[in-house]
Amino acid sequence: MATALVLIPLLPMLSAALLMIFGRRLPQQLVAIIGAGAVALSALCVLSIAQPFLATHQALQVQLWSWMQIGDFSPNFSFYVDGLTLVMMSIITGVGFLIHLYSTEFMQQDDSFSRYFAYLNLFIAAMLILVMADNLLLLYLGWEGVGLCSYLLVGFWYRDPANGAAARKAFIVTRVGDTAMALGLLLLYTELGTLEIQPLMTAANIHWVEGDGLAIVATALLLGGALGKSAQIPLHTWLPDAMAGPTPVSALIHAATMVTAGVYLIARTHELFLLAPPTLIAVALIGLLTALMAAFSALVQQDIKRILAYSTISQIGYMFLGLGVGAWGASVFHLMTHAFFKALLFLAAGAVIHCLHHEHNIFRMGGLRTRLPVVFWSFLIGAAALAALPLTSGFFSKDAILLAAWQAPGIGPLLWLGGLLGALLTAFYSFRLVFIVFFGELQTSPDKQPGWRMALPLALLCLLSLAGGWIGIPVREVFPPQEEQHAGFLVHVISIGIPLLGVWLAYAVYISKQISFQDAAASPRGRRWSQLWLAGWRFDDFYSWLLVRPYQTIARFLRNEPVDRFYDFIAAISLQFNHLLSNLQNGRLRWYATSMIMGLILMLILGMEGAT
C-alpha cells in the first residue's frame, strides 16, 4: 500500500525527468506511451489504494524522509491520504489520464511533443504532491510546482510574445497570492509550532477560540493563496489570459485541477477557517461576487476559450460560496463534477479548434452540429451539466451549494439569491455558446474529424458529467457533520427552474429570435456595459494603472543606479583636489625654488614662534 502511495506521484515525476532528458531523442510514439502511460499507472495505483480505503475509511500516512530538522521545525516528506485527498487524487490521475490521452492526438503535429508531455507529467506529479502532502510546507512545494508548470504550459508556444506575457502574468499574479500564503505559513508555525496539517488543526483548536484575531489573520493569508491559485477576485485576472496555452492544458490545469487547489486548501484547513468566522464570510462574499462578475463577463466574450475560462472562474466562485457557508462536502463535490464537465467542455472546445484550423472566435463557427456530431453531443452534455440542468452532475452539486447558502444564518438568503442569478446567467451563456457554435449556418468548414484518442476521453467524460452526480464522495470523516438539509418545496422548484429559464432565454434569443437584445446592446449605456464585461470589468487596466506602470516607472527611474551618484560625487571631489594639487606641480624651476624658500621661511617663522 505504501509503495503504491509513493508510486502515485513518483511515476509521473520519473516520466517527466525521463522525457526532459531524453525526450528529444525518442520517437513520438514512445513519448506518448511513456507520458500517458505513467499517468495511467498512477491512476491504477490510486484505484489500488482506494479499494481498501473505502472499506476501512482509515487515513493513510507514509513518511518518506525527514526534509529538515532545525530545532522544533521538522517538516517531513510525508503523505497523508484521507477521503478528501482520495477524491482529489482520483480527479487528478483520472481526468489527467484522459487529457493525456487526448493530448497524444491533439499535439501530434507539434515539434515539441516531448517537452509538452514532460511538463504535463511534471504538473501531475506536483499536483499530486500538493494534495497528498501531510504538512503545509510540502503542500506549498506542490502549490508552487503546479504554478511553475502552469507558467511553462501557458507559455508553451513561446514564439509568440503574447503567450509569454500571459504565462508571466499567470505566474506573477498567483505568486502574489502565494506570498500571502507563505506569510500565513510563517504565522501558523510561529504561533502554533508545527506545519503538519492534522496536529496543526488540533493545536489551533487548543490555542485559539472562535474569532481569535490571529486565526483571522492566518486564515486571511491562506485565503490570499487560495484566491490567487483559484482565480478569485481580486487575483483572478490571469486565468482568461492563461487560455493562450494548448487547450488540453486549459482543460487539465485551468479547469479541472490546479485552479481548484484553493478550494482544496480551504477544505483541508477548514478547522482553521471555522475558528475565523469573518474570514468565512469573506470567502462566501468573494465567491459570490466572483461568480457573478465572471458570469457577466462570460455573457459577451467571443473567444470560445475565454467564455469557458470566465465560466471556470464563476464556478469556482460557487465553490468558494459553498466553503464560506460551511458546505465543505458540497464544495468538494462541485469541485469534482466541475472537473468532469469543464474538462469535457474544454476538450470539446479543443476539438472544435483543432478541426477548424485554430479558429477561436465563436461567431466564425456555427452549424457544426451535423459536421462534428461527437463534439456536438459532448459539448451539449457539458453545457447541460454546467448549466446545472436537472439530473446532470452539475445539478446535484450546485443545488447542494445553493441549499447550503439558503440555510446559512444571517445573509444566507441573499447569498442564495445571488447564486440563483449566477445560475441563470450560467445557463444562458453556456447555451448561447452551444447555439452559436453548433446551430445556425455553417461558417467555417471543419477539415478533419477527431480520432479515437480524442473521442474516447470525450465519451468517458460525457458519462462522468451525466452520472457524476450519483458518485458519493468519501468525505464524511473529513468534515464536521452537516445538519440535515431541509428547504421548502418552493426553494427546490426555483433552483430547478432557474437553469431551465436560462436555457429557454438563450433559445429565444439565438434560435427562435423571439427576444432581441439588439436595441439594448446598441444603446450607449448597453454598449458601455458590454464593453466593460468584455474587458473583464477592466481589472487589467486598473492593475496596470495601480501596480504595473508604477513599477515600470520606478524601475526606469532607478535603472542607472542613483546610489552610484553618491560615489560619483566622492570621486568628483577627489578629482577636484587632484586638479588643485597638480596645478602646483607646474614644471617651472623658479616656481619650485620660490616655494621652497617660502616654505623654509614659513618653517623658520613657526619655529621661532614655537621657541619663544
Partner 1 sequence: MAGLQIPLDHVLLLATLLFACGLAGLMSRRNIIFMLLSLEVMLNAAALAFVAAGAHWGQADGQVIFMLILAVAAAEVSVGLGLVLQVQRRLKSLDMDGADRMRG
Partner 2 sequence: MMLWLLIVLLLVGGAFAWLAERRDPNAPRWISLGAIALALFYFLASIANFSSGQLQLVPDASQASTWLMHYRVDWIPRFGIHFELALDGLSLVMVALTLILGGVAVVSSWDEIDYRPGFFHANLLWTLAGVLGVFMALDLFLFFVFWEVMLVPMYLLIAIWGHEQKAYAAMKFFLFTQISGLLMLLAILSLAYMHHSATGEASFSYFDLLGTRTTGTAGFWIMLGFFIAFTVKLPAFPFHTWLPDAHTQAPTAGSVILAGILLKTGAYGLIRFTLPLFPEQSAAFAPVAMTLGITGIIYGAVLAFAQTDFKRLVAYSSVSHMGFVILGIYAWNSLALQGAVMQMLAHGLSTAALFMTAGALQHRLHTRDMRLMGGLWNDMPRMAATAMFFAIASLGLPGMGNFIAEFLVLLGLFEVSPLAAALAALGLISAAIYALIMMQRTFLGSDAETDRQLFDYGPREMSTMAVMMIGLLWLGIYPQAVFDLTQPVLDSLSSFVADAGARP
Give the residues lining the site for partner 2 (CB under 8 A).
20, 24, 65-71, 73, 77, 137, 140-141, 143-145, 148, 151-152, 155, 158-161, 164-165, 167-168, 171-172, 175-176, 178-179, 182-183, 186-187, 189-190, 551, 554-556, 558-559, 561, 563-564, 566-567
Nearest-approach distance from CB 612 to partner 2, in angstroms: 38
Cβ(296)–Cβ(317) below 8 Å: no
Query: Is residue 581 part of the contact set for partner 1 (CB under 8 A)?
Result: yes
Mark 525-564 with x for binding to partner 1 (rule: CB under 8 A) and - for no binding: ----------------------------------------
The closest of 95, 87, 159 to 123, measured between CA atoms, is 95
Contact between 608 and partner 1 by CB under 8 A: the answer reads no
Is the CB of 206 or the CB of 589 nearer to partner 1? 589
Check: CB of residue 277 under 8 Å from CB of residue 376.
no
Q: For partner 1, give the closer residue by CB, 512 or 583.
A: 583
Query: Which of partner 1, partner 2, none does 583 bind, CB closer than 5 to 8 A by kind?
Result: partner 1
Grid cell listed for 108: 501530434
DSSP 303: B
CB nearer to partner 2: pick between 105 and 144: 144
Q: Please, which residue, 159 or 486, has the CB nearer to partner 2?
A: 159
Q: Which is nearer to partner 2, 137 or 323 (CB)?
A: 137
**Which span sits near partner 1 by CB under 8 A: 231-239, 417-425, 436-444, 581-589?**
581-589
Asked whether position 603 contacts partner 1 by CB under 8 A, the answer is: no
Q: Which of partner 2, partner 1, none lies near 588, with the C-beta cut-off 5 to 8 A by kind?
A: partner 1
DSSP string covering 481-521: PPPPP---HHHHHHHHHHHHHHHHHHHHHHTS--S--HHHH
119 binds, among partner 2, partner 1, none (CB under 5 to 8 A by kind): none
Supply 348's cell numbers. Answer: 470539446
Task: Choose from partner 1, partner 2, none: what does 582 bind? Cβ within 5-8 Å by kind.
Answer: partner 1
Question: What are the φ/ψ torsions at residue 449 (nearest 5 degrees)?
Answer: -110, 150
Q: How many CB atoms lie within 10 A of CB 595?
A: 12
CA dihedral 317, 319, 320, 323 (to 10 degrees): 160
Specify the amino acid at residue 135. N
Q: How many CB atoms lie within 10 A of CB 490?
A: 8
Judged by beta carbon distances under 5 to 8 A according to partner kind, the member of partner 2, partner 1, none in contact with residue 594 is partner 1
Complex with partner 1: residue 597 or 605, whichever CB lies closer = 597
- 159: helix, coil or strand? coil
Which of partner 1, partner 2, none binds 581 (CB below 5-8 Å, type-dependent)?
partner 1
To partner 1, the closest distance from the beta carbon of 579 in angstroms equals 9
Region near partner 1 per CB under 8 A, out of 59-67, 78-86, 542-550, 593-601: 593-601
Of 560 and 583, which CB lies nearer to partner 1 in the complex structure? 583
Closest contact distance (angstroms) between CB of 602 and partner 1 is 15
Judge whether 225 and 218 are in contact, CB under 8 Å. Answer: no
H or E segment and range at residue 462: helix 452-467
CA distance 153 to 143: 16
Q: How far is the CB of 563 from partner 2 (least distance, A)?
A: 5
Q: Does 584 bind partner 1 (CB under 8 A)?
A: yes
Exposure on the CB side of residue 194, measured as CA atoms within 13 A: 13
Cell numbers representing residue 612 in the block? 619663544
The least distance separating partner 1 from the CB of residue 585, rounded to whole angstroms, comes to 3
Amino acid 377 reads: W
What is the smallest separation between the CB atom of 595 and partner 1, expressed in angstroms?
10
What is the closest distance, in whole angstroms, from the C-beta atom of residue 603 to partner 1 in the complex? Answer: 16
Residue 78 half-sphere exposure toward CB, CA atoms < 13 A? 18
Give 160 or 477: the residue with its C-beta nearer to partner 2.
Answer: 160
Task: Give yes or no for a contact between 454 and 340, defined as CB atoms under 8 angstroms apart.
Answer: no
The three-state secondary structure class of 399 is: helix
Tally Cβ neighbours within 10 Å of residue 201.
18
Contact 375, 348 (CB under 8 A): yes
**Which residues sit at the interface with partner 1, rule CB under 8 A?**
581-590, 593-594, 597
